[in-house]
Structure 1
């Protein structure tokens, strides 16, 4: 049974899809209930895996491998040669990402009570998106990873284009165009590796590319290795996104419905970081060492560019979009430091920003639903008309700017500590972005919560209420727990980070 748990975890949202497909599209109440319930099995499975890992420090028993596709009859030489198997596996890093995905999927489904039309199609696409995201983090070969990666694009395109705001179609096509280019680049990398090495198994690739082995069909020159690494950087850099490949993301953050942005900012952007760490650093460690400073420079550019642009925005969604670009710069800074503190900080930042961004975009959705706007100059006095929402909004801003005792502080501290150890001048320049983060967040939040009260719509009855408390309280609790007790993440990550450091010779 344990070998099929990962398969159940990844594909259990299909149960929800089938049940939703069987009921009337007009049955709003049951469609929303099934949409939420469809995410629960994956959530329970992921928490079980975390509990099992905490007790045994081993997840190898859950790995599954089934013969799937064979491209040549070479099994007498090597049973894995030119074969693509159905392979799922999980380690500490992917476990954390799976839990993040499962938690945010459930909370996004709860937040989707705001959706006003065509609930049947919406929840089917939302659950399909969850399958793709869970599959990305558990796939154990590059072909399966690519398939799940592509699965995430299809529902996102329709979720943005159908249920988004005024310029939703443009945002959807921009999303598809940029991510499609990234997918094409990634596919070329996978094809070259498969043709040259004869396998797409991630562990086998890591071993062969770093140690060497008999499965190497055709030698890969150093020049080709650098070319493949740069292609991986471009493919996942679009997803992260790295400046200047970021413009599509701004439109998605502004035009997509808030529950979808919760998943986009909280999980989908993090696939970029996951890919850079898992494949860039994992498969090409020697080559990655030589471009680490370049990656750190890109991180500082992201951090400062996003912070400066966020400082001058009047649309709160754009403030948060540029904030995401800035915070992804911290991920690059941590990766580029190429030491244990920095890499751990980068992964912490992936999780921390996922939770904080989901919290703030959920609150933006609630606020927009009440006031019909998120344009900062049109909003003021929320502290009087919506005191609870205002309090949570300020708490989210404090977490995002790195208040001690919250997850943002831990991740930023470790990432910068890693970079200060290797590149102190670059780290000092990047630290300016931390100051700017406080400026743009406090400017936006305080101008909306205080100021003139005449422009504020609604009364106390419009404050956050009912089931809307669930996403806020869960996300804020997790942000504080990680900030106060970071070992909840660092313990599962220990083995993964040790493997990365061993690969790069750290």
Structure 2
């Protein structure tokens, strides 16, 4: 039945319809606003899960692709010496699709968004506008994951940019204006780099050896070298002048895309914006920042940098691996020094980005699968930690570790959830973090044993940071002012239980995701493995 419906468009634009419904609700109806928002956020989750089940039975992403032409523009091609009629037609299209990589991430982001909508019960200021921006943010994140066209990806990225800026700048805490400004600046630069890559693609279509005469060009992913292999994307694969131009100029395009998406995942040394944004954002928004925006950035890195340019990725594998180890160690060490629970989680988010880079740099099946699994798992774990941190801060009025302590007695449920999330991030067997870390380290050990050994050191400061946060906040003597705080209410317990259930499920049955990743390997990681990146 799903094959007969525009299910991908329904997943992307259901939050947008929810936004329109929110606009019709009176602003003083707080519970109704939240009910409408949660319902709108749940629809993409239910559709994604249904699609996941259908895809696992029949892993053919082409069954769910949607492609609609919006319009055409005629551009001159060939410069001053162009012949009459040698025009390039730029095709604007709505092209979305799903495969073994984008589908698990879509489930992760839609799950984080639904749980964030539930956790927004604390928001009291301008709730109508808040839920509207939150739903718009979810629409942008899901659209960026399912888009198969650079121009469409750019449009959804701008949606995320605008929505997150307002959510942090209006509903954030201390330093919210500066944090929102940093987010806008860094991600704005990322968008400019993405736009430059798009313009380079258009230029290549019109100025290659064939002059682009009479050609119809789109910004689809199939125009990129590693995604344009014969038989991979059908008739639309890049050929002629575009392929020739990109073969010789792939370095420029790949560097643009690498910087564009590297900025979005907190790549060292461009990470300060992520720390400040997470520290200032309200907890539900931080869930979508660390558990949604960062995984989407990692997806772009995998799809448009490594998969599309496997040859360049092979030559840069050691550099990317080294940057990944630096990110991994740097975030872990700085997390040990933090006196604030929010800052601790923010630096650990940067550390997790390093783990993804290490898996991609390994370039073998184990490492690449580990990187993809870590992206999914990290989104769930970070969302859980931010959810608990927000609940603790709402009750105690602070996230500073020296002012907390003994919360395990009045709040055993939330304290236990935080400890479970900490163990998952550390890589405890039986939880999802173990699988991603294990696959990544095994893949890295196969091709880059020196970097793998150096990366193993990072587990020590991560364990120290997580243990320090748990002992300072949850154990020790109970302060008199916290002795009467309440544990999680039902509306808070539900998202905690759901996120924790998914973390345990993926830890005990990782094949739920790994089988999906491997079944889609012919669609998303074949070019990486064929090129033999890392070895």
Give the TM-score normalised by structure 2: 0.90
Measured in 2, the distance between the counterparts of 1:377 and 1:62 equals 52
Which deviates more from structure 2 when the two are superposed, residues 39-48 or residues 239-248? 39-48
Residue in structure 2 matched with residue 463 of structure 1 by the alignment = 487
> Secondary structure of 1:270's match?
helix
Q: 1:386 to 1:228 in 2, by over 3 A?
A: same
Residue in structure 1 matched with residue 80 of structure 2 by the alignment = none
1:115 matches 2:108 = no
Q: Is contact 1:241–1:272 with CA below 8 Å preserved after alignment?
A: no
Residue in structure 1 matched with residue 521 of structure 2 by the alignment = 497
Residue in structure 2 matched with residue 452 of structure 1 by the alignment = 477
- Please give the per-residue CA displacement for 1:51-91, whole angstroms capped at 9, x wherever unaligned: 111222223222111111312289xx999963121111111
1:199 matches 2:215 = no
Q: 1:502 to 1:36 in 2, by over 3 A?
A: closer
Residue in structure 1 matched with residue 22 of structure 2 by the alignment = 20
Q: 1:220 to 1:169 in 2, by over 3 A?
A: same
Residue in structure 1 matched with residue 37 of structure 2 by the alignment = 35
Measured in 2, the distance between the counterparts of 1:263 and 1:306 equals 20
> How far off is 1:285 after superposition?
1.0
Q: 1:458 to 1:35 in 2, by over 3 A?
A: farther
Q: Give the gaps of 5 or more residues in structure 2.
A: 77-84, 206-216, 231-236
Which deviates more from structure 2 when the two are superposed, residues 413-422 or residues 51-60? 51-60
> How far off is 1:220 after superposition?
2.1
Q: Is contact 2:224–2:238 with CA below 8 Å preserved after alignment?
A: no
Q: Is contact 2:225–2:247 with CA below 8 Å preserved after alignment?
A: no
1:405 matches 2:430 = yes
The equivalent position to 2:60 in structure 1, one of 54, 58, 61, is 58
Q: Is contact 2:381–2:421 with CA below 8 Å preserved after alignment?
A: yes
> How far off is 1:407 after superposition?
0.4
Residue in structure 2 matched with residue 478 of structure 1 by the alignment = 502
> How far off is 1:213 after superposition?
5.1
Within a 5 Å distance, the mapping from 1:327-406 to structure 2 comes to 327-406=352-431
- Please give the per-residue CA displacement for 1:104-143, whole angstroms capped at 9, x wherever unaligned: 1110000001101111000111111111111101111111
1:93 matches 2:101 = yes
The equivalent position to 1:48 in structure 2, one of 40, 47, 50, is 50
> How far off is 1:96 after superposition?
0.8
What is the RMSD computed on CA atoms of the aligned residues? 2.1
The equivalent position to 2:177 in structure 1, one of 149, 161, 169, is 169
Q: Give the gaps of 5 or more residues in structure 1.
A: none
> How far off is 1:246 after superposition?
0.4
Which deviates more from structure 2 when the two are superposed, residues 487-496 or residues 115-124? 487-496
> Secondary structure of 2:339's match?
coil
> How far off is 1:313 after superposition?
0.7
Within a 5 Å distance, the mapping from 1:183-262 to structure 2 comes to 183-197=191-205, 198-206=217-225, 214-217=239-242, 219-220=244-245, 224-262=249-287
Q: Is contact 2:100–2:521 with CA below 8 Å preserved after alignment?
A: no
> How far off is 1:286 after superposition?
0.8
Residue in structure 1 matched with residue 346 of structure 2 by the alignment = 321
Q: 1:386 to 1:113 in 2, by over 3 A?
A: same
Q: 1:497 to 1:208 in 2, by over 3 A?
A: closer
Which deviates more from structure 2 when the two are superposed, residues 38-47 or residues 143-152? 38-47
Q: Is contact 1:97–1:351 with CA below 8 Å preserved after alignment?
A: yes
Measured in 2, the distance between the counterparts of 1:247 and 1:342 equals 27
Q: Is contact 2:226–2:310 with CA below 8 Å preserved after alignment?
A: no
Measured in 1, the distance between the counterparts of 2:226 and 2:356 equals 26
- Please give the per-residue CA displacement for 1:307-353, whole angstroms capped at 9, x wherever unaligned: 11001111111111110111111000001111111111111111111
Residue in structure 1 matched with residue 210 of structure 2 by the alignment = none
Measured in 2, the distance between the counterparts of 1:80 and 1:471 equals 51
Q: Is contact 2:222–2:228 with CA below 8 Å preserved after alignment?
A: no
> How far off is 1:456 after superposition?
5.4
> How far off is 1:218 after superposition?
8.0
Q: Is contact 1:210–1:285 with CA below 8 Å preserved after alignment?
A: no
